[in-house]
Chain A
Amino acid sequence: MVIDRQEAARLADIIRSHVSRDFYLAQLGGFAVEDVALHYLAVGATMGLDPNPEFSTTFYLTQNADVAQAGDNPLWHYLTYGQSEGRVAKPDPDKAAVVADDDFSAQNGSILAEFFDPIYYRYRYPESLVEELSPLDHFHRLGWRRGYNPSGSFSTLDYLSRYPDVASSGLDPLNHYVRFGRSEGRPISPPPALTDDEEALRERRMRLIAPYFDEKYYLEQNEDVRHAGTSALEHYALFGWKEGRDPAAEFRISEYVGKHPRLADEPVDPFWHSVVMGSDFYQVKDPAFGSLLTLEQREAMELLEPHFDHKFYLASNRDVADAGVDPLVHYITSGWKEGRMPTPAFSPTFYLDTQPDVAAANVEPFWHYLITGKSEGRLGRHPGGWRAERLRTLAPLETEVRHWMKADGPPALLSTRALAQILKSASTTNGRQLTLSVGHDHCHRNNGGVQLCIQREEQIAKADGSSYVYVYPYQPLPRLARQSDADTIVGIVINGSDAGYAPASILAAALRRARPDFKSTMAVVHHLLGHAPESVQDLIQSLGSDSCFYWLHDYFLLCTGFTLQANDVRYCGAPPPDSNSCRLCKYGDERVQQLSRLSEFFGSLQVTVLSPSQVAADIWKSNTGLKHADLRIIEHMQLSARKTPRKKTVRAQVVTVAFSGTPADHKGWRVFEELVMEFGGDPRYEFVFFGTAEPKMRNLEVVRVNVSAENRSAMIDAIQTRDVDIVLHWASWPETFSFSTYEAVAAGSFVLTNGLSGNVARTVQKTGKGRVLKDSSDLFEAFRGNEISKLVNTRRQAANSEVFDHEISLMSYSENALGVES
């Protein structure tokens, strides 16, 4: 019976004074229920609980088939109609026609022994313990309604579906069979074999007790187990509890059974019982997870069980997997409130956000979806996938700017004199040349390709006896600084050491003073994010020159959204700023201002644009209107193939698939995640992440790798050591260079990518090391079939005969940049 909350409250008011709290709770084995009337309405009647000693739910429903059929609450029916119609509330002991339960078992004892097996029942349905009823009582009152079988020889569901008269009578089918069916010669069937289920059940129980099981203690106490070298937990689950061996120092089996004497005769591990029942022990060990499963939660678990994706839940929630908690229990008790998804097709957050009525009812959303939402046409997950989900919470650019703002006030600022003094003293040891370099963040405190390039230049300058003055905005921003904030505060790093902070105008004045102490100067712009281009122009001109280099590390010269992802979800290709695409984009308004300021910057200076790849140069050239002195291509890294006899290694068939670098959407991290989810358990593959981030996923090995100017080959070495077959680089924008692709190829791996990925695809095509696929469905198809193993076989042969040497460029100091003919 599905009734809404208002209706339930109305019915509860009618029956409330007839539900005896103590009497009712006693049947629940001490579970806390706040409103017993509501509980009886919602689940109690279905469970066969009685509201008071004078009213038998089961009796009333069996005697009054019309009430059972209508789905009415029996007590409500009795109070509203039944009583005045002379219907009877409970069995009359004087009337011989009604067979009481006790009589029933006494009279039919031998027959029952044949068809009811308490050991089977407890073992098969351990949750029956929760209701604190004897196995037979449990079956008689609740179990058969849930489709439980009384033994391995009688299938409840088969009996009910075979005999509709029994199903509509509301009688317990075993009761019917023993009293009537048997003598009427009705055939019965055994339930399906349970071997697999039993195994799964044992595993589930083990998982449930694992977090509380004290392995060390168990091994200390049980020398035989220690000597046998078997798993302590497994030993306990299979034998230990039956032999009375305690699972933890704080938990005494004998003590617990003393408190729950019925357990002495039950085929059930008392420790598991204490975990399920939420005993004190369980709560003390893990207060966060120790709350009892309410009856509603257990009912919900039954409904969810067939739809809940255990594998997916564990794969996407490493913490749950690590804790060994039953994933469904975790989801029911806390996971859904934390927005964790029970299956890839259902998002609790999305459902609650888009269905305000469900959110207001404060019910578990997946349960709501299964019970009613789905049939009402409600969607369990945004059909637009992660992009549409992202758009639901996408902040306008200026909101994002506010989030970026530092809370602390301005830093201590250097004076012109102090700064000029620092520069002067640098000139005494590194006086050959002064390079002013401009970037978007601290190049030593952040990881990434751009930062590596800057570090590389700094290294070269120092080795050459020159000085490298690196400047970044004190306040980082996702756009240019406003012109009104023209005197931006910048952080200054001189020859690798932090010099301090100063307004850009102070730095310009200091550079003017210190300039004569250096033999020559040059200016390199790596990024303008967070800077006011007007200030940067002033800085460059303070060196006494109008020339500078500008590196195309990304497409910031075309748009504020420098990876050209409109609204962070779609590659746009930098169309005209007044196009629909730009007007609808979060970067659209800012882009117009930015392009006009960049036009001024490029118009006032002699800018030589340096591109790390032909792809990036082509894209920029065909979309820009900026005046520039020259456009030159300098690849950050050169690969050269070398044939070499390598020892043939004997390798297992398993294919190693990796993601290296920053796990960002535009680098294809989402696609990699989906691959791990889908193929993580597939014995053909293993997945590894290389980088400084720490993604937490099941079936994903994380190898920490930090590439720096000092250890430039760290990634290549790591990939080589692990002998990775495939590196996935599923970029959703045209990468201007992609160190990770070059590193993968240099390490002898193959790269999988798509046609949009710019220099990634170009490099794969050029080297032949990998495959450029059409779209992600092709990618998943390749993993499902045998295309990946075929590709890997090619790689393994090639890796045995060919390696790539790599050479890192001199960046802005390379001959090509400087225009020197080699």
Chain B
Amino acid sequence: MTIHVYTSFSFSYLNRARVLAASVKRHHPEWKFWALITDLEPAGFSLAIEDEDFDFVLMATDLYGDETERWLFAHDVIEACTAVKGRALLHLLDQPDCTGAMYFDPDTCIFNRLDDVVGLIEKHSVVLTPHQVDPEEKSEKRAIRDNEITSLGFGVYNLGFVAVGVGEESRRFAQWWADRLDDWCYDRLDIGIFVDQKWCDLVPSFFEDVKILRDPGYNVASWNLSQRTMSFDENGMALINGKPLRFYHFTKLGPLGDMMTQRYARDNTEVYELWWWYRQQIECATDDRIPNRYWHYGHFDNGSPIPKPVRELYRDRQDLRKAFRNPSRTADGFFDWLVSEGLVSPTEVAAAS
């Protein structure tokens, strides 16, 4: 019987997904790895699954069928790649050999075996990892703001990871999550929603036997480094606060991520070693044929970028959704309507084409 693992990404994050998949295969060759892709291949590139560490590829179209483009139009890339996670989880749980399923963000990486989690999902319906498991000191105002207050805004649990069993309660969770993400997976902090993540603040109240995994070796990231220290034991095993490092969340690869890591890792050199290694891996896993920041669903079919306000308009107006079934296709008329309403500038089209 098999644990099914998945990650969700667009082709811009293929490099990260590759590094994650390789790490999963290294430590758990017996698991099945699914690449959930909400994108279409860029011109000149085609994904050869036999060369990848992915066992299966699941496209957004496999989950949403003919509705895919219309549904996706209401989402930006982050909303879209998180919204598909719900239906994908149901899909994995439906696999005949599935004894448990886990989601990992593409920018996470596994460093030691996760047998403990397998044990947990035998007894618990859902396993969640909080952003932080230890409170900051009262005097650490900046850390309170960066970490605790941010968690209050964006969600207590980090949905870069979730693990479920195959019992009734697990399925009830998966169905509820998928339902919410179908309709409400938006970056709408103003109404208390942050994509798929903030919803899960409700999980311990809604479902039985939820496990909040407080082991510091899981989901280590800049948002909890203020309370976690990395070291190696004499056998070279990476430890976090003395416990084995299970997986690290390499959030925000770039200057911003560096700044937050430096702010909280301080002189914990081992953390910088880890990042050094991750950068090298990402560089090796990067395919130059994929344009920078590429996302197929980011544009109308005439090449004009779809502005966020247009997506919001479409998601909020039922009449528009009814009138235009294929909004990203210019032949459908939505684009012309936007131009006539002055919501999209024709010069942008010219520039894009």
Binding site for B on A (CB under 8 A): 354-356, 377-379, 382-385, 387-388, 391-392, 394, 396, 566-567, 569-570, 572-573, 575-576, 579-585
Contacts of A582 in B (CB 8 A): 236
Contact A377-B267, Cβ < 8 Å, known A354-B255, A384-B272, A388-B272: no
Question: Are A384 and B276 within 8 A (Cβ)?
Answer: no
Question: Are A575 and B267 within 8 A (Cβ)?
Answer: no
Contacts of B263 in A (CB 8 A): 377, 379, 383
Question: What are 20 of the A-B contact pairs (CB < 8 Å)?
Answer: A377-B263, A379-B262, A383-B262, A383-B265, A383-B266, A383-B267, A384-B265, A384-B269, A384-B272, A567-B276, A570-B269, A570-B270, A572-B232, A575-B232, A575-B234, A576-B236, A580-B111, A580-B236, A580-B245, A584-B276
Hey, what's the 0/1 contact readout for B242-280 against A, CB within 8 Å counting as 1? 000100000000010011001101111110111111001
B44 to chain A, nearest CB (A): 27
5 A-B pairs with the lowest CB-CB distances in the bound complex, closest first:
A575-B236, A579-B236, A581-B236, A580-B238, A584-B277
Q: Give residues 44-97 of B contacting A (CB, 8 Å).
A: none
- With both beta carbons as reference points, the residue of chain A lying nearest to B264 in the complex is identified as A383
Contacts of B275 in A (CB 8 A): 391
B188 CB–A CB distance under 8 Å:
no
Most buried by A among B112, B142, B258: B258
B111 to chain A, nearest CB (A): 6
B280 to chain A, nearest CB (A): 6
A587 to chain B, nearest CB (A): 12
B235 CB–A CB distance under 8 Å:
yes
Contacts of A378 in B (CB 8 A): 259
Contacts of A391 in B (CB 8 A): 269, 272-273, 275-276
- With both beta carbons as reference points, the residue of chain B lying nearest to A581 in the complex is identified as B236
Contacts of B276 in A (CB 8 A): 391, 394, 567, 584
B21 to chain A, nearest CB (A): 16
A732 to chain B, nearest CB (A): 12
Contact A573-B269, Cβ < 8 Å, known A377-B263, A379-B263, A391-B276: no
Question: Are B236 and A384 within 8 A (Cβ)?
Answer: no
B276 to chain A, nearest CB (A): 5
Contact A575-B259, Cβ < 8 Å, known A377-B142, A569-B269: no
B320 CB–A CB distance under 8 Å:
no
Task: State in angstroms the CA–CA spacing of A579 and B237 once bound together.
Answer: 6
Task: State in angstroms the CA–CA spacing of A753 and B249 once bound together.
Answer: 39
Contacts of B245 in A (CB 8 A): 580
Question: Are B269 and A387 within 8 A (Cβ)?
Answer: yes
Contacts of A576 in B (CB 8 A): 235-236
Question: Are A388 and B236 within 8 A (Cβ)?
Answer: no
Question: Are B238 and A581 within 8 A (Cβ)?
Answer: yes
Contacts of A580 in B (CB 8 A): 111-112, 232, 236-238, 245
Most buried by B among A387, A567, A570, A581: A581
Contact A566-B262, Cβ < 8 Å, known A579-B235, A580-B245, A581-B236: no
- With both beta carbons as reference points, the residue of chain B lying nearest to A353 in the complex is identified as B255
Question: Are B262 and A384 within 8 A (Cβ)?
Answer: yes
Task: State in angstroms the CA–CA spacing of A383 and B264 once bound together.
Answer: 9
Contacts of B265 in A (CB 8 A): 383-384
Contacts of A385 in B (CB 8 A): 267, 269
Task: State in angstroms the CA–CA spacing of A572 and B233 once bound together.
Answer: 9
Task: State in angstroms the CA–CA spacing of A583 and B273 once bound together.
Answer: 11
Task: State in angstroms the CA–CA spacing of A575 and B232 once bound together.
Answer: 10
Contacts of A396 in B (CB 8 A): 280
- With both beta carbons as reference points, the residue of chain A lying nearest to B269 in the complex is identified as A387
Contact A584-B274, Cβ < 8 Å, known A385-B267, A575-B236: yes
Contacts of B277 in A (CB 8 A): 583-585
B325 to chain A, nearest CB (A): 42
Contacts of A584 in B (CB 8 A): 238, 273-274, 276-277
Task: State in angstroms the CA–CA spacing of A385 and B262 once bound together.
Answer: 11
